Amino acid sequence: MWSLETLGRERLSRHFWMREFLYSEIGDFHGIPNIPDDPDLALARGRAFCETLLDPLEETFGRIFVRSGYRAARLNAFGNAHGLNCARNDHPLECHVWDLPDRPVAGASIVIPWFARRYADGRDWRDLAWWLHDHLDYSEICFFPKLCAFNLSWRPEPLRRIDSFVAPRGTLLRAGAAPALSARERAARHADFPPFKGLRHPV
């Protein structure tokens, strides 16, 4: 029997614990507990997501801000029904509900503060999009205007799709398609980014 305290203390990866993904403004305001129906499944997928995608980001850019993480199915359905920026639970690209048995996905909406500062000064979101494409085994990415936040998702079989609500809006890369830019052109757009390498950790 999982307690919420025990669940929150579960470590997902080198840098992340489950507690960081459980807070929800919607749940807090409307009194809907954000507790997984299947904690073990949520943890397993959350670990894959954090180890594969979030740890490399944190080790490259510094602290990553989790804007919206895990959502219980009931909470996400409530958010969708009330126009609170939640996709429906059965939407093909919904990534916040980590414990649906037939939908192997985990994701979160995150902000990279290092890039958010540059975005505020006019940096093109596509520079970050192509960096993510060239360095991470992501499934889907979708960018939003505020702080250049983006949904980032993991799946065991990645789709490799990039969309954006930031101008130019639309789909930058369709699943299974080749990028419009060559590897050299993409690299030029993010040549000033920090080197993709991990932090030094005590043994």
What backbone phi and psi angles, to 5 degrees, belong to 151?
-75, 130
Per-residue pLDDT of the chain (203 residues; tens, 9 = 90+): 468 788 999 999 999 999 999 999 999 999 999 999 999 999 999 999 999 999 999 999 999 999 999 999 999 999 999 998 889 988 888 999 999 999 999 999 999 999 999 999 999 999 999 999 999 999 999 999 999 999 999 999 999 999 999 999 999 999 999 999 999 999 999 999 999 976 555 44
Would 3 be classed as within a structural domain?
Answer: no
Would 203 be classed as within a structural domain?
Answer: no
Would 162 be classed as within a structural domain?
Answer: yes
Q: How many domains does the chain have?
A: 1
Q: Do strands 106-111 and 65-68 pair parallel, antiparallel, or not at all (unpaired)?
A: antiparallel
Would 196 be classed as within a structural domain?
Answer: no
Would 140 be classed as within a structural domain?
Answer: yes
Predicted local confidence at residue 203, as pLDDT: 43
- The model carries a pTM of 0.93
Would 139 be classed as within a structural domain?
Answer: yes
| Helix residue ranges per DSSP H, 31-176 | 39-49, 55-61, 73-81, 113-120, 125-135
Q: Which domain holds residue 56?
A: 14-189
H or E element at residue 183: helix 183-189
Predicted local confidence at residue 201, as pLDDT: 53
H or E element at residue 28: helix 25-30
Would 9 be classed as within a structural domain?
Answer: no
Decide: helix, strand or coil at residue 90. Answer: coil
Would 94 be classed as within a structural domain?
Answer: yes
Nearest-angstrom CA–CA distance, 88 and 48: 23
Predicted local confidence at residue 199, as pLDDT: 56
